[in-house]
Amino acid sequence: MFDKRTWAAGLWIPVLALGVAASAHADDKPALRTIASTTLTDRQQSATTVITIAEGAKVDGKRAIRYHVVYDSASNCHAVVDGTATFFSETDESGDTSEALPNGEWATTHQFRDNGANGLVKLGVDVDAAHPRFVDFTLEHPAAALPKCIGPAGLVFNVFAERADPTNPLYKMRDKTAATYHNVVYDYMVDYPDELLVPGTESASGDGLDFAPKSGKADIAVWGKYASPDDTRASLLHDDETHCAPGKVSYEVNKPTFIAFSCLTPKGRIVYEKMAIHNDVYAAVRFEYDAADHATWGPVIKQMAGSLRIGPGPQPAKD
């Protein structure tokens, strides 16, 4: 296991590995591309979903994306959902700013929201390309006017412009139910792809365990602990960042429900780490791997870090 006194924070967004320059100044960021009308199709055994998105007129000064979704299920459910979603944040609910593409490249994503006539629509969109290569769509609390076959669970899908490579971990994880590790000592949970990872034996203290890859090389661990009187979110971040190479902290998040940072180690390895916070309990997940293996481990990190949760009736840690 990793030293729990040493490593105890955040979600690592591998900005350096993505080739995206980290900057503390908004003026240094490249201009965003205008999104041209783009249609993507997600064909699954249970349903076919077609989404068209395009740049819309700004709403209250915020960037806007027009969307049109046509959903047809194998059980003869047909639904059409369209509207305009406005810019919400640069990070998703797990603090991530990117999405692994099937070809092993990465796309910068922004989040958009439309809380209107359809229900709550959440869009995650690739903003690096004029024709987005990835769109993530979620419809929560669907409106009563929508077809009853949609059901209270709404719609959830993500779609890529490029056909997935069956050997890519992102492809292997799609439409599969994740396994869940539940730590009873600190009552935290994390989902993981059991087709890629094997959970080890819990530590003697019962605070967590390591995961062993079935193939490839990576150090993966989860653990929990109770807060101490001297702990602050800032101090945890500061303490852990001393283990990064000088000047190689490329991302940092400090929110009430989780803290996060990203860096390269002195040996040039990528560290990706997230700590969820709930009352006096901390729960963390940590990856360390070679930069050359980012296409393999990026999707796994996204799944595990996004599912990390604490306590009864758990929800993924979010602000």
What are phi and psi for residue 59, nearest 5 degrees?
-120, 115
In the three-class reduction of DSSP (H, G, I as helix; E, B as strand; rest coil), residue 236 is classed as helix
| Amino acid present at 219 | D
Q: Assess whether pLDDT exceeds 70 at residue 291.
A: yes
**Other CB atoms closer than 10 Å to residue 98's CB: what's the count?**
22
In the three-class reduction of DSSP (H, G, I as helix; E, B as strand; rest coil), residue 280 is classed as coil
Q: Which of 25-39, 110-124, 272-286 has the lowest mean pLDDT?
A: 25-39
In the three-class reduction of DSSP (H, G, I as helix; E, B as strand; rest coil), residue 23 is classed as coil
Q: Which of 107-116, 203-212, 266-275 has the lowest mean pLDDT?
A: 266-275
Q: Could you tell me whether strands 309-310 and 188-192 are parallel, antiparallel, or unpaired per DSSP bridges?
A: antiparallel
pLDDT per position as a tens digit, 119-171: 999 999 999 899 999 999 999 999 999 998 898 889 988 888 865 455 555 55
pLDDT band at 313 (very low <50, low <70, confident <90, very high): very low
Report the candidate in 317, 318, 271 with the shortest Cα–Cα distance to residue 297. 271
The structure tokens listed for 94 are 């797990």
pLDDT per position as a tens digit, 240-259: 677 788 877 777 788 888 88
**C-alpha pair distances (Å), 40 with each of 15, 52, 70, 116, 181:** 26, 6, 11, 23, 34
Residues 225, 186 contacting (CB under 8 angstroms): yes
What is the distance between the alpha carbons of residues 65 and 84, in angstroms, rounded to a whole number?
6
What is the distance between the alpha carbons of residues 206 and 225, in angstroms, rounded to a whole number?
10
Length of the chain: 319
Q: Assess whether pLDDT exceeds 70 at residue 9.
A: no
Residues 10, 260 contacting (CB under 8 angstroms): yes
What is the distance between the alpha carbons of residues 202 and 125, in angstroms, rounded to a whole number?
38
Q: Which residues pair with 82 in a beta bridge?
A: 68
38/31: higher pLDDT: 38
Burial of residue 200 (CB within 10 Å: 0-12, 13-18, 19+) is middle
Which pLDDT does position 246 carry in this prediction?
Answer: 85
The structure tokens listed for 16 are 């350096």
Mean of the pLDDT values across residues 187-191?
93
Q: Could you tell me whether strands 270-278 and 281-289 are parallel, antiparallel, or unpaired per DSSP bridges?
A: antiparallel
What percent of the chain stands above pLDDT 90? 40
